[in-house]
Chain A
């Protein structure tokens, strides 16, 4: 079946460094991907919509200069957390609809980011 692959699954970095997270659609093309963040015992929060070949759409309150999104191809979107701080520590998850429109979203396995 359709698979969304996310890498890395876990990363620990020092405050002030940048971290890149990759999200790949393995057997389908994804013109749109979604990036979510989830704090412990909290709901998923949509951060931004990644659009292939154009700028990402960010949700209100999400700093676009801090969370850089690049969707350079139909199978790859990246999220870069720039100048990470401890408050950026969270679980980041990407997702993509397999057929566009109202088809189900499939999620990557998520990236646990810890900033020390």
Chain B
């Protein structure tokens, strides 16, 4: 069974620190990897996507992918209290039309 695993947290970091969120996946055929942010009571919002091994940076966010280790991570630099949310890792199902498998999410708390 295809799975995406995340530490549920909560992960607590002080304001200004780097938050590191990790995710592993089971399907070696997966080619697309996504990070979503979900505030309580709201729908998920796309933060980053990455398709190739290595790092991809966008502002304070960096996604890292290691397909050999089946590992993807999200780094948030200069964390702000407004970053406090649940972060969902999602991986495509190989051969599907956009269907994703979601992890259960990691709850991040940034303390002022």
Per DSSP, are chain B's interface residues mostly helix, strand or loop, or mixed? loop
In the bound complex, how far is the Cα of B36 from the Cα of A107, in angstroms?
A: 10
Task: Report which of A43, A108, A110 forms a contact with B103, defined as CB distance below 8 A.
Answer: A43
Number of B residues with CB within 8 Å of any CB on chain A: 23
Is A102 a contact of B51 with CB atoms below 8 Å? yes
Is B97 a contact of A100 with CB atoms below 8 Å? yes
- Which residue of chain A has the shortest Cβ distance to B90 in the bound complex? A105
- Which residue of chain B has the shortest Cβ distance to A106 in the bound complex? B46
CB contact list, B49-106 vs A, under 8 A: 49, 51, 88, 90, 92, 97-100, 102-105
Is A46 a contact of B98 with CB atoms below 8 Å? no
Number of A residues with CB within 8 Å of any CB on chain B: 25
Task: Report which of A43, A93, A101 forms a contact with B104, defined as CB distance below 8 A.
Answer: A43
Interface presence of A49 (CB below 8 A): yes
Interface presence of A34 (CB below 8 A): yes
In the bound complex, how far is the Cα of B105 from the Cα of A31, in angstroms?
A: 28
Is B34 a contact of A110 with CB atoms below 8 Å? no
Interface presence of A26 (CB below 8 A): no
Is B97 a contact of A44 with CB atoms below 8 Å? no
Is A49 a contact of B99 with CB atoms below 8 Å? yes
User: What residues on B are CB-neighbors of A15 within 8 Å?
Assistant: none
Ordered nearest first, which 3 A-B pairs have the shortest CB separation?
A97-B98, A102-B32, A110-B43
| A–B pairs, 16, beta carbons within 8 Å | A31-B97, A32-B97, A32-B98, A34-B99, A43-B103, A43-B104, A44-B44, A49-B99, A91-B41, A91-B43, A97-B97, A100-B98, A105-B46, A105-B100, A106-B46, A107-B36
